[in-house]
Amino acid sequence: MTLFLNSPAALAEQSLAGLATLRADILRLGEGGRHIVRRTPSPGKVALVSGGGAGHEPMHCGFVGHGMLDAACQGPVFTSPTPDRVLAAAADVTGPQGALFIVKNYDGDRLNFDMAAEMASGHLRGPVRQLIVEDEAIDLSRGEAALNRRGLAGTMVVQKIVGAAAERGADLEHLVSLGSRVVGRTRTVGVAFPAPGAGEAPSDEIEFGVGIHGEPGRFRLKREAAHLIVARMVTVVLESLAPPPDARLLMVLNGFGGMPMIELQWMAGEVCQALRQATGRRTLTVARALTGNYVTCLDMAGCSLTLTLLDDMLLDLWDAPVHAHALRWGM
């Protein structure tokens, strides 16, 4: 991978400063240049704070704005932000109503956000709760424990739906309950071609069940026709999600940064067709769909499929207005 940069060590912070300059209409760079906040926060609401390592853009800082996050902090590439960075971001936006930390289920993120939450007492004006996102669709046939579920592109879905409720004035406990419900109704699986030199993988294999840090998948498969790969992805997600008959779904086909839109759009169509043809006594409806690069892994050649089981309330919150750098509708 070739990058335009001045200094590898400064890339993450310079990228954040560039985003703040680009979207000065809605964003402001926090003190110290390591977090982004809404330029015009909504008064009297619970603050939503998230973050993670750089290299996943537009996640998380690109989702700060009306109807989504109030602040996001960023660490170096693929490295969780330290507790002091998390606390600084939270202090910038938290009022008496408190703050909700939305955290991906990775050890580094959980550790540092946990420490920041402990440090928050006496530093913030309101209480702090945490919501752990663990949306990975585990292949149940492999007997893997649910504790291993990683936080993947479903994190963006959680941030959007919970963000809409926060914008409407929901209190902290309601947001925690709502967020847990969305996590439980959301599953993601990712596939990618192995990175160059990744265990000297044969060129005719793909990684199935990848995360968002270039790590190997849950297992490798021989490369096959794309519609068969899509069918495997849909099967794994549906087995984990177990939607009821007549389910309505939100479908997000997320690119990891190295797939052109011509491929993503084609695969999104294949996903919709595979869902319509899903076996069993189910009539699955893709009520909403989103395709693009939202939670990336630099330029990894692959994508992830996220499905969220919708009801009237969740559909209404998904459709609610949002105005962030990477997501905007209804405004």
**Alpha-carbon distances of 75 from 15, 52, 256, rounded to whole Å:** 11, 6, 19
Residue type, 52: G
Cβ atoms of 58 and 325 closer than 8 Å = yes
DSSP 175-233: HHHHHHHHHHTEEEEEEEPPPTTSTT--TTEEEES--SSS---SEEEE---HHHHHHHH
Cβ atoms of 253 and 262 closer than 8 Å = no
Phi and psi, residue 254, nearest 5° = -105, 130
Distance CA 150, CA 212 (A): 9
Catalytic residue among 35, 123, 213, 325: 213
CB atoms within 10 A of CB 219: 11
- Catalytic-residue membership of 325: no
According to DSSP H, which parts of the chain are helical?
11-22, 83-93, 107-119, 154-167, 172-184, 226-241, 261-276, 312-319
- Catalytic-residue membership of 56: yes
Catalytic residue among 56, 60, 66, 325: 56
Distance CA 114, CA 8 (A): 28
- Tokens read off for 299: 């330029």
Catalytic residue numbers read: 56, 213
